[in-house]
Structure 1
Amino acid sequence: MSLFHAVVWLDHHQAQILQFDAEHVEAQKVKASSRHTRTHGSGVRTEHEFFGHVCDALSGITEVLVTGSNSAMADFRHYVEKHRAPVGKQIVGYEPVDHPTENQLIAEARKYFVKYDRMNGTPTPM
């Protein structure tokens, strides 16, 4: 099922991706690799690999809202701008949130997209 909107909640270790419309929600989780190496800079490579998997999971989604801690969102945004510019075009906003439940996250995303679509003059296909 291809859904129009998605909300992503992420930190530096995991991401929860929820695609939704008015009646359906599809959930997907992406976790960072837990392998530890002694190689210098392996933490950066592991983070880039994780963010790459998150970007791959967003393939085909028209509008994405990214949520999470300010630091995780800033790091993800930097990664997207530098390495995955096409995904950046799908992301319509960044909103800081703590640790919401799935239902809270969907409710906030629905409110966000109603406002976003109204401001852009596009009908909300929810």
Structure 2
Amino acid sequence: MSLFHAVVWLDHHSANILQFDAEHVQAEKVKAHTHHTKQHGSAVRSEHEFFADVCAALNGIQEILVVGSSTAQKDFKHYVEKHRAALVSSIVGYESVDHPSDKQLVALARQYFLKHDRMAGVPTPT
């Protein structure tokens, strides 16, 4: 089931993706790959693989709010802009938050999207 809105909480090790509408919430977790090698750039390669998996999980979602640490958001935004340009228009905002529960994330996202959709003059889908 692909829903219209999603909120993604992420750090550099995992992502919690919650797709939702007025009545349903669908959760998916994505974990980072760990490659412990002495090869130069292996950490960057691992991060790119992780961010690619997160982007794949977000494919087809119309409006996405990305939350988490500011550092992880900045790195994810840079990755998306450089490697997944088609996803840029679906990401409507970035917000720094700590470690909220799934219910808190969905409540935050619902408030955000209600405000965002009203400002854009777009009715919120139900």
With the length of structure 1 as denominator, give the TM-score of the two structures. Answer: 0.98
Where does structure 1 differ by over 3 angstroms across 4 or more consecutive aligned residues? Answer: none
Residue by residue, what CA displacement relative to the aligned partner does 1:21-50 show, whole Å, maximum 9, x if unpaired?
A: 000000000000123112111000000000
Identity of aligned residues (%): 68
Q: For 1:61, what is the secondary structure of its paired residue?
A: coil
Gaps in structure 2 of 5+ consecutive residues: none
Q: Which residue of 1 aligns with 2:53?
A: 53
Is 1:99 matched up with 2:99?
yes
Instruction: Please give the alpha-carbon distance, in whole angstroms, between the structure 1 residues aligned to 2:59 and 2:74.
Output: 20
1:113 aligns with 2:113: yes
What residue ranges of structure 1 are gaps of 5+ in the alignment?
Answer: none
Number of equivalenced pairs: 126
Match of 2:33 in 1: 33
Question: For 2:98 and 2:2, how far apart are their aligned partners in 1?
Answer: 28
- Equivalent residue, structure 2, for 1:68: 68
Compare 30-39 and 8-17 and name the one that shifted more.
Answer: 30-39
1:3-22 to 2 correspondence within 5 Å?
3-22=3-22
Computed over aligned residues only, the root mean square deviation of the Cα atoms, in angstroms, reads 0.6
Partner of 1:2: 2
